């Protein structure tokens, strides 16, 4: 496995917030980084920020890397696979950072040549500010990095991707694609859809100009994810449709039950319920902080 | 109106986050502050933080103030009105900071003696950390402070409460109780209920221990309000039930429409919709920041 340790040649396709942050983190860990971005301004910025050693203007320049990381919107994945496929040598490892995994694994099986090893990845980190200019070397520190390998993936390829994730300060977690996609539908996708529905219910109301002075930090925080990358979120909805629709139904049932509780007027039960939720949510924040600061 | 300017004797009933922050802000503005809290530890803390000039252990000690501000959970309002009523002299102004206004105005009309002037108030500021130990003099700066006066309130009483709100750095906004309660149901109460439903859908799932590593800052932010004061939120639900149930229905309809949009699979429409929400939400954040930093 020595050739997968620091010094390994890694290429990142797509230098946005995640691709740029990954470049910063991996260069610190001693990897040699080639970054591809279509737009010259993004390449210049990535070089200026030291997020990459080499900024490639041609996707083919990434094919010589030992590990290629796709950091593009998930629906752009098959197009990148198709363009890369003829360039790849056997033994090359390909991974990604997309938020949904079942579709990506299917595309990899279908479009990448035999002998090229795909191992899916998904770092649980993000911010509503997109673009390489917001990249941070510490973005992944203490965050889970899901490793979703096809059954046929060689253990050495899985280990190389796991080592790469660990090098960013993330905590790798191996799981299968279906489990991953159902879990993130509930922990990540429904929350951003709830934020969007709250944003619509407020900002797109005809009388919003009159209501706006009555809104404050509560609405600001609950709608934060509505300021997230629209393309990324759209791609997630398209590529994880079934799991998302199921978890959205579940969330709407929770809201209906809450409305019933409020309508029934059992004040003590409502208080006990809110207190229990507070306890559990406080516990989750402690969990996140402890992992981040460990 | 000179007697309402700084130097005015103000009493705050309830020294939590809001009462304590109000004390800090008003003392800076030159008001003389008496603060009432039942618990000795809270009184000691308020004195230590310089949030009050005098810490009263008997509610009756607040009755000599020119303006009395209730900063208690909204369902505690009638009990405080009943205890204060026999002590109050004609001309005393009573106001509050509760999140719902119609019920409070009814209680004031019913329970306060003739000649005592009630003018409702509601500063649009808060945090999930309760208690005087988190009080901040700048909590209200650039935030709207709703002024909800009964029709019969003398203009001088309305002006005194408006002056007090302005002294904290807040931006006063006069409106009627029904308009206020409907507006905050949509801008504030439904967002905290959405946060609670998201918290339940995540933290109270039987398989949460397995899901937790897949949750990150998105879920943290969208559930922040589930860590808010449980008693305050319960009281809001009870005292603004009808408006909240109506706005919750509206929010569930938005979620159903969003589910339909995802199910239909018009990818371009979904992207355009998410982009529009991002634009509007970014605009709202700019609005909040500009007011806060003006």
pLDDT per residue as tens digits for the range A168-225: 999 999 999 999 999 999 999 999 999 999 999 999 999 999 999 999 888 999 999 9
Chain B residue with Cα closest to A222: B222
* Inter-chain touch B203–A285, beta carbons under 8 Å: no
Inform me whether the pLDDT recorded for A279 exceeds 60. yes
Residues of B in contact with A258 (CB under 8 A): 193, 196-197, 200, 248
- List CB contacts (< 8 A) between A216 and chain B: 124-126, 143-144, 187-188, 288
Query: What is the edge-to-edge ordering of all strands in the sheet holding A171-174?
Result: A120-123, A144-148, A171-174
Smallest Cβ–Cβ distance between A237 and the set B199, B254, B270 belongs to B270
Contact B281 A255 (CB under 8 A): no
A285 contacts: CB under 8 Å, gap ≥ 6: B220, B227
User: Is the CB of residue A234 less than 8 Å away from at least one CB of chain B?
Assistant: yes
* Contact indicator for A135, A17 with CB cutoff of 8 Å: yes
Alpha helix ranges (H) inside B151-293: 155-167, 177-184, 190-203, 208-211, 217-222, 230-239, 241-264, 267-293
Residue A292 contacts B, CB cutoff 8 Å: no
Please list every residue in chain A whose beta carbon sits closer than 8 Å to the beta carbon of residue B256.
252
Question: Is there a contact between B203 and A277 if contact means CB atoms under 8 Å apart?
Answer: yes
Residue A84: closest CA among A98, A106, A68, A100: A68
Express each pLDDT in A1-35 by its tens digit.
Answer: 333 456 899 999 999 999 999 999 999 999 999 99
Q: Do B186 and A202 touch (CB under 8 A)?
A: yes
Average pLDDT, chain A: 94
Select from B101, B190, B194, B263 the residue whose CB has the most chain A CBs within 10 Å, as the one to mutate to test that interface: B194
Please answer yes or no on whether B194 and A194 come within 8 Å at the CB atom: yes
Neighbouring CB atoms inside 10 A of B15's CB total 31
B219 touches chain A (CB under 8 A): yes
The percent of residues above 70 in pLDDT, for chain A, comes to 98
Greatest C-alpha distance within chain A: 67
pLDDT class for A128, splitting at 50, 70, 90?
low
Q: Give the pLDDT of residue B4.
A: 43
Residue of A nearest to B186 (CA): A202
Asked if B227 has any chain A CB less than 8 Å from its own CB, the reply is yes
Q: Measure the CA–CA gap between B147 and B161, rounded to whole angstroms.
A: 8
Pick the residue from chain A with its C-alpha nearest to B234: A271
Which residues in chain A are contacts of B218 at CB distance < 8 A? Answer: 126, 187-188, 191-192, 225
Instruction: Write out residues 135-194 of B within 8 Å (CB-CB) of A.
Output: 143-144, 146, 171, 173, 180, 183-184, 186-188, 190-194
Q: Is B248 part of the contact surface with chain A (CB cutoff 8 Å)?
A: yes
CB spacing of B173 vs A231 below 8 angstroms: no
Spatial contact of B171 and B143, defined as CB atoms under 8 Å apart = yes
Spell out the residues 6+ positions from residue B251 whose beta carbon is closer than 8 angstroms to its own: A197, A198, A201, A255, B190, B194
Task: Record the pTM.
Answer: 0.89
Nearest alpha-carbon partner for B87 in B65, B109, B120, B57: B65
- Least CB-CB distance to A221: which of B221, B247, B274? B221
Q: Which residues of chain B have a CB within 8 Å of the CB of A215?
A: 124, 187-188, 284, 288
Sheet holding B93-96, edge to edge: B54-56, B32-36, B9-13, B67-70, B93-96, B117-118
pLDDT score at A119: 98
Token pair belonging to A192: 């951003």
**Cβ–Cβ below 8 Å for B216 and A125:** yes
Q: Which range, of A47-61, A94-108, B116-130, averages the lowest pLDDT?
A: B116-130
Residue B6 has a pLDDT of 61
Dihedral of the CA atoms A28, A166, A239, B253 (nearest 10)? Answer: -90
Cβ atoms within 10 Å of A250's Cβ, excluding its own: 16
* Residue A198: per-residue pLDDT: 96
* Chain A contact for B281 (CB, 8 A cutoff): yes
Angstrom distance (rounded) from CA A222 to CA A203: 13
Q: What local confidence, expressed as pLDDT, does residue B3 receive?
A: 38
Q: Which contacts qualify for B136-141: CB closer than 8 Å, 24 or more apart?
A: B136/B21, B136/B24, B137/B21, B137/B24, B137/B25, B137/B28, B138/B25, B138/B169, B139/B17, B139/B18, B139/B21, B139/B25, B139/B168, B140/B21, B140/B22, B140/B25, B140/B165, B140/B168, B140/B169, B140/B170, B141/B168, B141/B169, B141/B170, B141/B292
| B221 interfaces chain A, CB cutoff of 8 Å | yes
Q: What is the ipTM of this complex?
A: 0.88
Q: Inter-chain contact A213–B126, Cβ cutoff 8 Å?
A: no
Q: Which of A86-95, A155-164, B5-14, B76-85 has the lowest mean pLDDT?
A: B5-14
**Does A271 sit within 8 Å of B212, measured CB to CB?**
no
**How far B270 CA sits from the closest chain A CA (Å)?**
6
CB contact under 8 A, A218 and B127: no
Closest chain B C-alpha to A133 CA, distance in angstroms: 18
Structure tokens at B21: 């922050």
Instruction: Inspect the interface and report whether the beta carbons of B222 and A219 lie closer than 8 Å.
Output: no
3-class SS at A73?
A: coil
> Residue A265's pLDDT is what?
86
User: A189: distance to nearest CA of chain B, Å?
Assistant: 9
CB–CB contact A212 B284 (8 Å): yes
Please tell me the class of the B180-293 domain. Answer: mainly alpha
Segments making up each domain of chain A, as ranges:
2-175, 180-293
85-144 in A: which are within 8 Å (CB) of B? 124-127, 143-144
CB contact under 8 A, B190 and A201: yes
CATH code for B2-175? 3.40.50.720
CB A228 within 8 A of CB B278: yes
B213–chain A Cβ distance below 8 A for any pair: yes
pLDDT by 10-residue block (mean), chain B, 294 residues: 64 97 96 97 97 97 97 96 97 97 98 97 84 94 97 96 97 97 95 96 93 92 92 95 96 96 94 97 95 87
């Amino acid at each position: 496995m020595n050739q997968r340790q620091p010094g390994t040649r890694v290429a990142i396709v797509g230098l946005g917030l995640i691709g740029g942050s990954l470049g910063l983190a991996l260069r610190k860990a001693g990897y040699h980084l080639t970054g591809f971005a279509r737009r010259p301004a993004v390449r210049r910025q990535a070089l200026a920020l030291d997020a990459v050693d080499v900024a490639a203007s041609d996707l083919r320049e990434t094919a010589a890397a030992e590990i290629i990381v796709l950091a593009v919107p998930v629906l752009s994945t098959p197009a990148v696979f198709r363009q890369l496929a003829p360039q790849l040598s056997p033994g090359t490892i390909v991974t990604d950072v997309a938020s949904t995994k079942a579709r990506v694994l299917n595309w990899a099986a279908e479009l990448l040549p035999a002998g090229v090893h795909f191992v899916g990845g998904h770092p649980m980190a993000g911010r509503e500010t997109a673009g390489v200019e917001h990249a941070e070397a510490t973005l992944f520190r203490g965050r889970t990095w899901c490793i979703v390998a096809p059954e046929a993936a060689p253990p050495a390829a899985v280990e190389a991707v796991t080592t790469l994730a660990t090098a960013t300060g993330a905590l790798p977690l191996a799981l299968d694609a279906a489990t991953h996609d159902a879990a993130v539908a509930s922990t990540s996708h429904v929350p951003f859809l709830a934020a969007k529905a709250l944003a619509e219910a407020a900002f797109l109301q005809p009388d919003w100009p009159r209501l706006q002075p009555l809104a404050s930090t509560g609405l600001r925080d609950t709608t934060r994810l509505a300021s997230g990358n629209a393309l990324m979120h759209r791609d997630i909805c398209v590529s994880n449709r079934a799991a998302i629709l199921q978890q959205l139904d579940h969330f709407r049932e929770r809201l209906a039950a809450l409305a019933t509780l409020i309508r029934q007027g059992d004040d003590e039960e409502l208080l006990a319920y809110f207190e229990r939720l507070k306890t559990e949510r406080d516990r989750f924040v402690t969990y996140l902080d402890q992992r981040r600061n460990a």
